[in-house]
Amino acid sequence: MLPESSRHRIRVTVNGQVYEREVEARLLLSDFLRYELGLTGTHVGCEHGVCGACTVQLDGQPVRSCLMFAVQADGREIRTVEGLAPDEERLHPIQEAFWEAHGLQCGFCTPGFLMTVEAFLRENPDPTDEEIREAISGNLCRCTGYVNIIKAVRLAAEKLRAGR
Amino acid sequence: MKPPRFRYFAPTSVDEAVELLSTHADAAKVLAGGQSLVPMLNLRLARPEVLVDINRIESLSYLRVEDGHLAVGALARHRMVEKAPEVAARVPVLQEAVRHVGHVQIRNRGTVTGSIVHADPSAEMPAVLALLDGSVRVVGPSGTRDIPWQELFLTYFTTTLGPDELAVETRFPLPPAGAGWSFMEVARRHGDFALVAVAALVTADETGRVKEARLSLAGVGGTPVRPERAEALLAGQALEDDVLAAVADAVREAIEPESDIHASAEYRRHVAGVLAGRALRAAMERARRGGEG
Amino acid sequence: MATRYFGQPIKRNEDPRLLRGRGLYVDDVQLPGMLHMALVRSPYARARIRRIDTSKALAAPGVVAVITHADLPANLQGPLPPLIPHPTLKHHKTQFALAPGQVRHAGEAVAAVVAESRYAAEDAAELVEVEYEPLPAVVDMEKALEPGSPLVHEDIGTNVAAHYTQVVGDVEKAFAEADLVFEEVFRPDRGQAQPMETRGVVAVYDRNLETLTIWDSTQAPIRIRSGLAELYGMRANQVRVIAPNVGGGFGPKIMMFYPEEVLVPWLAMKLGRPVKYIEDRREHFFATNQERDQVHRVQVAVRKDGTILGIKDVFLYDTGAYIPYGLIIPIVASCTLPGPYKIPNYHAEFKAVFTNKTICSPYRGAGRPHGVFVMERIINRIAEELGIDRVEVRRRNLIQPDEFPYDVGLIYQDNAPLRYDSGNYPGLLDKLLKLIEYDQWPARKEQYRKEGRYVGLGLALYVEGTGVGPYEGARVHVEPSGKVWVATGVGTQGQSHQTTFAQIVAEELGVRVEDVEVVTGDTGAFHWGTGTFASRAAVVAGNAVALAARDVKAKALEVAANLLEASVEDLELADGQVRVKGAPQRAVSLGQVAVAANPLRGTIPPGQEPGLEAARYFNPPQSAFSAGGHAAIIEVDPATGMIKILKYAVVHDCGRLINPMVVEGQIHGGVAQGIGGSFYERLVFDENGQLLTTTFMDFLIPTAMEVPDIVIDHQETPSPLNPLGVKGAGEAGVIPVPALFVDAIEDAFSGYGLRFREVPLDPNRLRQALAEAGVPGAGSTAA
């Protein structure tokens, strides 16, 4: 009645830790991270690749985890928001900047922004406001109107350049 | 919205992939970047019983200039093309167009070839392929063939690729040295599919007149359009207002846009003419500067 | 009065956790043995259900149950409870947990599938066979009034749910006396809040404790709890509802009950396992409430100096297929229309009309944007007709600062008189004009025109009723550690309550903001309240927090006075201690005071309650009225109809500010939604009631590229109606945007006689209008 669904063993590194699991082929990477691994910091907003809430880093590059299957992450390295802060006492400078600049309100879209911004500032450590807007245009926010997010990214760039 | 059930294969060679496609034919779909396919799966608008994931075929991840072409392997991501110095140097119109594809997260996964064989006429890549008179190389059970763009695109989301064929490379002929270029798009928001997009290529003579001009349009029908009569009108001309007005009219006559919730056919028709003029002017500016900037 | 914390832009308490990805949203709740629900939804806007066959679905892998209306117990089969009655709401029709034999809007839930995973549940949902008999649907609210129109509810013989008129003065006399009378018709169109988090419910029943625990992404956890307890025939204290971190509310999450809120807990009890339902984005489009479509027919009477004599507004409010939330939106719209202006004669009349579309209930603004749109368009028309500058027309009609309290003459949504408590509208207007450099505008605009650019300036003013009752409450509790714990009933969907309420307490008790923990939205922590909506939480709950904190302070002083053998007047609270003024070494920590107030043995004075704790309620007598003005400079490309916002300025008055950073953030977000609703977002239905915009590819939420920088200035006219002097701010950003948007575009093409009466606009329709007006470059109007 229903088509066949294949299952696969995968080995994925997430935030430096190796996980081995057996998954259904159609299990989305977003659901794998959230339900299989319990890493619920990555959020799901649309499941059709527009809102960016599910953004994680695949081999250091931001991608939409709702548009990948967990099986595709076999042998790859994923970084999620849980892997940003260096430890329990300290936050990543980008997280600090969002905090200081009031760059989040409900917090639902925030992890996606953080993963996008972290990669962006690695590539472009001294961006203009226009470049910041473009870089984050693939992440939707309904609470902040982006004004303070842009402030936060500017502040984050400053902090990172100053080596903090 | 969760995808429907399917069997998943991840071949590591082109031959393996082609064999899977011939075995499963219409029941199978190729998964490359997934930026167009996976949303359709999640929305259950596409229900392939078999998914052939080509992301493990490392030999397809390349980009190189050879025999007067830019050869882009099937796994070359948009982002790779966006950043490649060869593209900036030899095919800048492609680099500019790729910047309009979605957002960085999409460009990190989506592939140029995948976008082309997805054949959305509002997408940027098919329009650039048409501008440069490019082709797609495919491999099937009976061997390899090159499909020129005119023979590739049938209509909305439909190409002449057989269900047992795998697109392995896109070939963009290099534009003439010193050619001016431009890519312009009207979209509802930054990164959205074009309501209308125009790509232009212009070579100029010493007097600043057009030697050869090419236009390619997205969002104006079921496939990208090269308006031949409009292009012919430009040969030997200076880009005066009356010439551009005639070209705009010719562009409008060459297209069959449709209405949807974002824009009416009439809007697309009007804007196509407007953008053609703007794109030609910008391309001519670059041509005067020897193709720079 | 110098303040340490109140009024300061303090960093949020809630952020580190959220930034680390440790927020708990409903979908993050994972319980052992949890099942997942998916719904079968009607593809038709109106149809009878002939037959439902669930056998194939039941046989699908992983499926545990498939439920239709017939499977529901009797107490869940009927219409769900109506929320806000009104004497003129004759037909208070409400929605069902599952459709009873017929469906009235596309997307209405017809069957529920419960399985081991959402994937399996969706597979099985596709196997449920429903035989529909489609019926003609009525989609347009004006057509719904025509004789012979299909009826959304056949048993009442009409599509009119309510007909309500409020009158101030004598509007017919005003028309007779006027120098100028004109008419307009306005049509704002449907939109949706679309928070980044869709709705969700998780429920688990504990058989040992006989308690039902529900996580719900609602803005009204307490009312959900009491409502569900009643519905299921349980005691209120057997049901606990937690609204954890909620990823944006903006209105639609205050509506109750959504079918899933009723089904999921019932299924958890019936199946003996936890059940989760997370709405996906496509479902959200037609299953979560919408708003914004109305049709206004206005007649205006004006003196030749531009002062308004009277307004008659007769309008239609499209409520969708049901009207659980009553008449709040149209009442608010009609009460917001007068705004900061003196309207001596006013006739506000509306009909609430059923159509076969998704239910409407408040979305940020809740009718205020409509009132402002109509009023500000009227102002501009007056300016045009009489040749008076549009700012001058506003000045001549403004309520003056010495005229407060100002009685508008209407009854507001809280059944209390619409009486503005305080404000300074001329001052606000002046600040706005300065911020947007209005005096330089004519010269700048001319310069743009010389360059062949079409750039316009738009502005709009509004008054916003906030802080409605009936009440909210809070408990403030000091722990032996000296840390303070606050519980209140309102929920939080990004409004920074964990910080602003902590600031209030910190100010009163002399502790650090980060030492105050605030719990919101958990009926287990506090169980009396209404919810977070209508820009009321800071006003109503905030004042309850203040009152409770003041009680705790008074008690702390009393207890400490005893401990320190000093008199209360000689003591102060600072740095987490109670100490003698001028002799800081004579001090006890607040924690020690808390311990002393709750001794293990001994006696405490009669009448004194134990511990350092107080619970207080604030019942506002009426609304507090915020006000604001927005102005924007917008450039339009006539050839493509595309726009660019060059500058956006806001002057905002919400009384005293608890945290200016938080208020500005709220304004930013509201403006972004306003921009979305003016030019990018629109819900499109076809003539059969099918929603055509069901993904983010079709419904376009602005990105960082579409929202400009927003400059904000404040004015503070404290409210005399509450101890803190605060007024609400949550909706302000969105309210005037559509009005100023069309104003700016008309201004950009002044001289071409453009007049917009509909929102949202889009490049398509804009270009068409420009072409029809003969604007160069906009092309022809031929198809």
By the 10 Å C-beta count (0-12 exposed, 13-18 middle, 19+ buried), C81 is classed as: middle
DSSP symbol at A35? I
Q: Are C499 and C657 in contact (CB under 8 A)?
A: no
Last residue of a domain, one of A32, A57, A83: A83
SS3 labels along C601-654: CCCCCCCCCCCCEEEEEECCCCCEEEEEEEEEEEEEECCCCEEEEEEEEEEEEC
Q: Mean pLDDT for chain A?
A: 97
Do B238 and B135 share a domain, yes or no? no
Bridge partners (DSSP) of residue C379 are: none
How far off is chain B from C779, nearest CA to CA, in Å? 7
Do C92 and C231 share a domain, yes or no? yes
Last residue of a domain, one of A39, A57, A83: A83
Query: Tell me, what's the pLDDT at B38?
Result: 98
Task: Please report, in angstroms and rounded to a whole number, the separation of the first and last CA atoms in chain B.
Answer: 45
Distances (CA, A) of C319 to C94, C148, C249, C681: 11, 20, 20, 19
Q: Are C750 and B232 in contact (CB under 8 A)?
A: no
Q: Is C289 helix (H, G, I), strand (E, B) or coil?
A: coil
Tokens, residue C330: 């149209």
Do C599 and C640 share a domain, yes or no? no
Cβ contact A142–C20 (<8 Å): no
Do A73 and A9 share a domain, yes or no? yes
Question: Chain B within 8 Å of A28 (Cβ-Cβ)?
Answer: yes
E strand intervals along C60-146: 63-68, 102-103, 109-115, 129-134
DSSP symbol at C359? P
Do C609 and C647 share a domain, yes or no? no
Q: Please, how many CA atoms are within 13 Å of residue B23, restricted to the half-sphere of its CB?
A: 11
Q: Are B2 and C122 in contact (CB under 8 A)?
A: yes
Cα–chain-centroid distance for residue C545?
22
- Domain boundaries, position C663: 412-466+622-783
DSSP C511-572: --GGGEEEEESBTTT------S-TT-IIIIIHHHHHHHHHHHHHHHHHHHHHHHT--GGGEE
CA angle C192, C193, C197 (to 5 degrees): 125
Q: Is C759 helix (H, G, I), strand (E, B) or coil?
A: strand
Bridge partners (DSSP) of residue C187 are: C758
Whichever domain contains C604, its CATH number is 3.30.365.10
Confidence check: pLDDT of B79 > 60: yes
> Is A151 inside any structural domain?
yes
Bridge partners (DSSP) of residue C759 are: C188
- Full pLDDT tens readout for chain A, 164 residues: 799 999 999 999 999 999 999 999 999 999 999 999 999 999 999 999 999 999 999 999 999 999 999 999 999 999 999 999 999 999 999 999 999 999 999 999 999 999 999 999 999 999 999 999 999 999 999 999 999 999 999 999 999 999 86
Last residue of a domain, one of C618, C636, C671: C618
DSSP C496-516: -HHHHHHHHHHHHHT--GGGE
Query: Tell me, what's the pLDDT at C783?
Result: 45
Do B203 and B254 share a domain, yes or no? yes
How far off is chain A from B169, nearest CA to CA, in Å? 22
Do C591 and C672 share a domain, yes or no? no
Choose the closest CB to B8 out of A25, A47, A120: A25
Whichever domain contains A97, its CATH number is 1.10.150.120
How far is Cα C328 from Cα B235, in angstroms, rounded to an integer?
65
Bridge partners (DSSP) of residue A79 are: A57
- Domain boundaries, position A61: 4-83
How far is Cα C715 from Cα C654, in angstroms, rounded to an integer?
8
- How many other C-beta atoms can be found within 10 angstroms of the C-beta atom of residue B281? 15
Last residue of a domain, one of A83, A102, A127: A83
How far is Cα B129 from Cα B173, in angstroms, rounded to an integer?
9
CA angle A149, A155, A158 (to 5 degrees): 145
Chain C residues touching residue B261 (CB < 8 angstroms)? 684, 692-693, 698
Helical (H) or strand (E) element with C348: strand C345-354
CA angle C201, C203, C206 (to 5 degrees): 170
Do B202 and B156 share a domain, yes or no? no
Cβ contact C672–A146 (<8 Å): yes
Rounded to the nearest 5°, which phi and psi values hold at A66? -80, -10
Do C439 and C546 share a domain, yes or no? no
Query: Tell me, what's the pLDDT at C596?
Result: 93
Rounded to the nearest 5°, which phi and psi values hold at C160? -95, 115
Nearest to C654 by CA among C642, C670, C634: C670
Last residue of a domain, one of C618, C640, C661: C618
> Is A88 inside any structural domain?
no
Do C658 and C636 share a domain, yes or no? yes
Whichever domain contains B20, its CATH number is 3.30.43.10
Q: Are C160 and C351 in contact (CB under 8 A)?
A: yes
- How many other C-beta atoms can be found within 10 angstroms of the C-beta atom of residue C169? 15
Do A68 and A128 share a domain, yes or no? no
Choose the closest CB to C665 out of A2, A47, A144: A144
Choose the closest CB to C19 out of A50, A98, A138: A98
Bridge partners (DSSP) of residue C349 are: C165, C314
Whichever domain contains A14, its CATH number is 3.10.20.30
Rounded to the nearest 5°, which phi and psi values hold at C419? -130, 110
Name the domain count of chain A. 2
CA angle C362, C156, C232 (to 5 degrees): 60
Do C756 and C668 share a domain, yes or no? yes
Q: Are A47 and A27 in contact (CB under 8 A)?
A: no
> Is A155 inside any structural domain?
yes
> Is C163 inside any structural domain?
no
Cβ contact C119–A149 (<8 Å): no
Tokens, residue C254: 């205050």
Q: Which residue has the tokens 């003065």?
A: C169
In chain C (783 residues long), the average pLDDT of successive 10-residue segments reads: 83 98 98 98 98 98 98 97 95 97 98 98 98 98 97 97 97 97 95 97 97 97 96 96 97 95 98 98 96 96 98 98 97 97 97 98 94 97 96 98 96 92 97 97 97 97 93 96 95 95 96 96 94 91 96 96 93 95 92 94 86 95 95 98 98 95 97 97 95 96 98 95 93 95 97 94 95 91 57
> Is B1 inside any structural domain?
no
How far is Cα A148 from Cα A158, in angstroms, rounded to an integer?
15
Helices (H), B25-184: 37-42, 78-83, 85-90, 92-99, 104-109, 112-118, 124-131, 149-152
Q: Is C190 helix (H, G, I), strand (E, B) or coil?
A: coil
Last residue of a domain, one of B115, B150, B173: B173
Query: Tell me, what's the pLDDT at C1?
Result: 47
Name the domain count of chain C. 3
Do A123 and A141 share a domain, yes or no? yes
Q: Is B7 helix (H, G, I), strand (E, B) or coil?
A: strand
Q: Are B234 and B247 in contact (CB under 8 A)?
A: yes
Cβ contact A25–B34 (<8 Å): no
Nearest to C339 by CA among C465, C164, C174: C465
Choose the closest CB to B263 out of C280, C695, C764: C764
Choose the closest CB to A137 out of C281, C673, C704: C704
> Is A42 inside any structural domain?
yes
Cβ contact B109–A135 (<8 Å): no
Tokens, residue A35: 């339900």
Cβ contact C282–B1 (<8 Å): yes
Q: Are A55 and A115 in contact (CB under 8 A)?
A: yes
Query: Tell me, what's the pLDDT at B292?
Result: 61
Chain A residues touching residue C21 (CB < 8 angstroms)? 39-42, 80-82, 111
Name the domain count of chain B. 3
How far is Cα C672 from Cα C681, in angstroms, rounded to an integer?
11
In whole angstroms, how large is the CA radius of gyration of chain B?
19
Our CA dihedral for B138, B142, B148, B154, rounded to 10 degrees, sits at: -90
**Pair type for strands C102-103 and C47-53:** antiparallel
Confidence check: pLDDT of B293 > 60: no
Q: Are C226 and C236 in contact (CB under 8 A)?
A: yes
Q: Subunits touching A (CB < 8 Å, at least 3 pairs)? A: B, C
Q: Which amino acid is at A86?
A: P
B interface mutation test: which of A50, A67, A130 has the most B CBs within 10 A?
Answer: A67
Do A27 and A97 share a domain, yes or no? no
> Is A51 inside any structural domain?
yes
How far off is chain B from C640, nearest CA to CA, in Å? 6
Q: Is C281 helix (H, G, I), strand (E, B) or coil?
A: helix
Do A55 and A73 share a domain, yes or no? yes
Distances (CA, A) of C127 to B39, C102, C398: 22, 20, 62
> Is B251 inside any structural domain?
yes
Do B46 and B68 share a domain, yes or no? no
> Is C148 inside any structural domain?
no
> Is B262 inside any structural domain?
yes
Distances (CA, A) of C683 to C286, C306, C330, C677, C764: 10, 37, 20, 10, 16
Q: Mean pLDDT for chain B?
A: 96
Do C459 and C568 share a domain, yes or no? no
> Is B11 inside any structural domain?
yes
Chain B residues touching residue A34 (CB < 8 angstroms)? none
Cβ contact A107–C19 (<8 Å): yes
Rounded to the nearest 5°, which phi and psi values hold at B134? -90, 180
Our CA dihedral for C381, C385, C386, C391, rounded to 10 degrees, sits at: 30
How far is Cα C138 from Cα C356, in angstroms, rounded to an integer?
6
Do A45 and A25 share a domain, yes or no? yes
Last residue of a domain, one of B173, B190, B225: B173
E strand intervals along chain B: 7-9, 28-31, 50-53, 63-66, 69-73, 135-140, 143-148, 153-155, 158-159, 166-173, 180-186, 196-204, 210-218
Confidence check: pLDDT of B291 > 70: no
- Domain boundaries, position B199: 180-288
